[in-house]
Structure 1
Amino acid sequence: MRQVSQFSRYIFIGVLVAMAGLVIYAVLNQPRPITDSDLDATVAARRTLTAAAITSSAVAIAGTPDLEATIDARLRATSTP
């Protein structure tokens, strides 16, 4: 019984040491504060992505003639049960 309690004590101490190590690692690796230039870059990237999404969705809604012709040809070629 004494060996089990000593083993659990070592496990407990190991967990505490690991937690302390993670705390020290987290404190040393904190991210830097966000600056105005970071915010401006984020806004510019969001605007670019939004513009690209609007353009691609407009193309998807309009459809392309080649795609429409391919779909129509495949529908005519498939047999219906």
Structure 2
Amino acid sequence: MASISMKELLEAGVHFGHQTRRWNPKMRPYIFGKRNGIYIVDLQKTLQLFEEASNFVRDLVTRGGTVLFVGTKRQAQDVVREEAQRSGMFYV
């Protein structure tokens, strides 16, 4: 899988989390801070965990495993479908 850079995460707006009033305490370790009522996600942790997830998926597929792509947001549906089809996997 292709690696991703901190710059690419920033440009994609990955660091923008939910509004602060929609707090989930389980996310505490991954929150860098808050600004203008929005949580800012810790991109260093995101990058590390992205690499771990990427390695896991690569190893799973190498062993013949199956991946289910899930896209519940309307804006992600097309990309989820296209990438699942491209990789010969399933999607919802």
| Range class of TM-score, shorter chain | 0.3 to 0.5
More helix by share: 1
**If the length of structure 1 is used for normalisation, what is the TM-score?**
0.32
Structure exhibiting the larger radius of gyration computed from Cα positions: 1
More strand by share: 2
**If the length of structure 2 is used for normalisation, what is the TM-score?**
0.29
Q: Which has the higher contact order (CA 8 A, sep 6+)?
A: 2
